[in-house]
Amino acid sequence: MRLLINISYITFALFLLASEACDKIPARTANTPDAGDSLSSGYFICNEGNFQWGNATLSFFNIKKNVLYEDVYKTINKKPLGDILQSISIFNNTAYLVLNNSGKIEIMSPKTFEGRGTVTGFRSPRFFLGINENKAYVSDLYDNHIAIVDLQQNKIKNKIPCYGWTEEMLLFGSWVFVTNKYSRYLYIINAISDQLTDSVFVGYGSGSITRDAQNNLWILTSGNILLSIKPQLHRLNPLTLRIISSFNFATDAKPLKLITDPSGTHLYWINGQIYKMKVDALTLPVSPWVQTTNRNIYALGFDKIKNEILAADAKDFVQQSEILRYDSSGNLLGSYAAGINATYFLTK
């Protein structure tokens, strides 16, 4: 009887371990994704790769099947993406993959992953923002302009002067709000006339912008430690251009990658650790939401199907990144390996 009990206990323990392993480590495959795999069942992961190595990759995680498809663009199109995959955007049922150091945007079907063309002529593109069926804006690290892309011809048709390192952009009505890492201002472009029409003083180094449930905008700045300028977090009314509230970080803080949850009621960002704050909070959180000691958190995102928060640990920037999955309380649910320097998640 004792032997049977021990065998039963061991069997049960092995079952639990196997279940836990299945939860933490999805199947990995370089095979062609099944027809119909799309954002309805998963999310994309942009893996920068290493600078000048030309090893950027795009991963697709199928949540329902618990399968990570590696390097899907190369698998389908039989050619590598290029150098430094900075971001991905889906607009009008088309995916736009921004290759920073390749100076191009690869166009792809988000359902079949088949290439649909390339937009070239950029210096160092960062983010793509669809405006309407005919045009999009692309920010740039070095160009001192916002590029206007003709989406019918997939060519740069014009540029909007905007000095400095332009980064994330957000479309609100007919206005585009542009962050700038080398400026103290948030810039506003009229998306109808393609003219830069206004600006808001936000402090040095704005790079992240997002919208909350009340349609207010949140802007995160990096500050400048050499000039003793503190990083800041601002809440902005996009209609009046009035800053509703501002929060100061310590001068040596390095906050980045600001995002909102799908409900628009909470903010998340990286500052060594992962921080979380309600949009109606009166002060910055004192303690991190998740302690990530001995990790190199490089990106944040959401799994909207399972309501999980995703974080990418870039480790030493050479080996594969580890994708960490957290529930809404900050409990680690599991993890899996992705490509090198996972920097951006896209869900729908």
CA distance 108 to 113: 6
Q: Which helix (H) or strand (E) element contains residue 297?
A: strand 297-303
CA distance 317 to 70: 18
What are the structure tokens assigned to 56, written together?
Answer: 């950027």
Tens digits of per-residue pLDDT, 199-229?
999 999 999 999 999 999 999 999 999 999 9
Rg of the chain over Cα atoms, rounded to whole angstroms, equals 21
Superfamily the domain 27-346 falls into: YVTN repeat-like/Quinoprotein amine dehydrogenase (2.130.10.10)
Segments of the chain with pLDDT less than 70 = 1-40, 348
What are the structure tokens assigned to 302, written together?
Answer: 């959401």
For residue 162, what pLDDT is reported? 98
Domains of the chain, residue spans: 27-346
For residue 171, what pLDDT is reported? 99
For residue 38, what pLDDT is reported? 59
- The CB-based long-range contact list for 58-64 (8 Å cut-off, 24+ gap) reads 58/85, 58/88, 58/97, 58/113, 59/338, 59/339, 59/342, 60/33, 60/113, 61/26, 61/323, 62/33, 62/37, 63/303, 63/305, 63/306, 64/305
For residue 63, what pLDDT is reported? 87
Tens digits of per-residue pLDDT, 284-321?
999 999 999 999 999 999 998 889 999 999 999 999 99
Phi, psi of 17 (to 5 degrees): -65, -40
For residue 175, what pLDDT is reported? 99
CA distance 125 to 102: 9
Its pTM stands at 0.90
